[in-house]
Amino acid sequence: MLAMNKHTLLFRPCLAAAAALAAATAAAREPNYDEGKVAPYTLEDPLTFADGRKVAGAADWPARRQEIVDIFSREMYGQPPPAPEAVVTELKEEGPTLAGLAIRRQYRMWFRRDRSGPFVDWLLVLPNRIAGNEPKVADERVVCENQDKAPVVLMLNYRGNHAVLNDPEVPMPDGGWFRDEPKDMGRDNGPREENRGFGRDSRSRTTVPADFVVARGYALLTACYAQVSPDAEACFKLPPDFAYTRIFELWPKRDPKRSDNTTALGAWAWTLSRGLDLAERIAEIDAKKCVVTGSSRLAKSALLAASRDERFAVCVPNQTGGGGCPLAKRDFGENVSTEMQMFPHWYCAAYAKYIDNEQAMPFDQHLLLASIAPRALLVEGFNSEWFDTKGEYLACRAASPAWKMLCGKGLPEGDFPPNYSTALIGERLGYVRRGGAHGISGHDWKWMLDFADRALGR
């Protein structure tokens, strides 16, 4: 059952048609958890244009792909933010980490030439053993003698870069709201020293195993999502438009007459693309071999980033929940009503017209998945009815024709698989699920990097 409380009701979206939208979202519809109550639905063909024309072949795909991207910008996620005035980066610190097996670098990124306004802090963990070369350490600085370049895993993290590594050299982030444990949401949600290294702690449901990533030959590049757009869903004492601060200060003021204003998900996705801008500037990284990932809302962000930015070679969204990979028209678990009632800052106002009206949607999430073709996509689910992992599988199945046309192979044949089965992880498109808790586990990381190795030809 969906848990509702007095705090949930505080989050009314400050968007176009705000009064009507608030009335529509005042009471979310109870989620359906009965497969027998899933009514018949029709999904749009990813290989048919909105005007009914068929995609004749690979030459037609860029136009159809852009049509899909535009639909989601108008109807669900809002328009992409504008390009930055500039991407200015400064290396703030570097040194050895992970007992000397990696290099730690910390960058600050601004989006104006004069380095004014919002910024994002990136943490890079770079393997120092590439092509059999060991590093030299001089004056406590690491000099990397890599002959080959490392592929990179790019992600946003939840609690700050200091939660990724135990290293004291990683500073606490500058003030403001940062995610804390749910039991502490009533506190001021500032960054906390007690969270240092939390992503490597056995108590954490979402792990960020930098040592494992490095051992597989990948670099890890990450920044904290709260530094981009603070998450109003968790800020019980803050107004809903609090989400439209920080990075939103770069962009024109939101227009209350528009139904497709930029959203928090759009801002997080935009920032992942800026991380790829940074990766392209780092000599030891092969940015053409970039794996973008994340869990839950940050999986949605990774999926949206890969849809909008074709530079991402591999996308691995982990447990997105509704509004990410699962089919909305299936109406199982999370639905448009609960999404707009609980997380209005993630979606644009236009999406509200599909509350209790999912069958009227001229799109569904399988089209978002298809927009990533022919690049590589692995969808990772788990057994929470709220997250509807069967709906994720069905979305992959419905998106598969795009890969089959472009690559010759789509999702491997097979019904909804059992937990931990890798039978449906194909060469370019895959689906896998597991038991356990919500978050990226060791299982998910292994599946992710095994899939990436194959997709990247490693």
- Report residue 330 as tokens: 């299936």
In 255-299, where do the E strands start and end? 285-295
Tokens of 256: 């209350």
The structure tokens listed for 174 are 């500058």
Distance of alpha carbon 319 from alpha carbon 452, whole angstroms: 18
How would you class 149 by CB atoms within 10 Å of its CB: exposed for 0-12, middle for 13-18, buried for 19 or more?
middle
- Nearest residue to 160 (alpha-carbon basis) of 108, 134, 186, 121: 121
Q: Record the tokens describing residue 29, joined without a space.
A: 């519809």
Q: In the annotation, is 296 catalytic?
A: yes
How far is 176 from 199, CA to CA, in rounded Å? 20
Q: Is 250 left (phi over 0), alpha (psi -120 to 50) or beta?
A: alpha
Question: By the 8 A CB rule, do 325 and 345 touch?
Answer: no
Start-to-end Cα distance in the chain: 44
Among residues 7, 384, 421, 438, the one annotated as catalytic is 438
Token readout for 126 is 């770079």
Q: Does residue 7 have an active-site annotation? A: no
Write down the catalytic residue from 229, 259, 273, 296: 296
Between the alpha carbon of residue 189 and those of residues 210, 234, 237, 249, 367, the distances in Å are 25, 9, 11, 21, 37
User: How far is the C-alpha of 7 from the C-alpha of 275, rounded, in Å?
Assistant: 34
Q: Kindly give, in sequence order, each residue whose CB lies less than 8 Å from that of residue 291, ignoring residues fewer than 6 positions away.
A: 151, 152, 153, 154, 218, 312, 313, 314, 315, 316, 448, 449, 452
Which of the residues are catalytic?
Answer: 296, 438
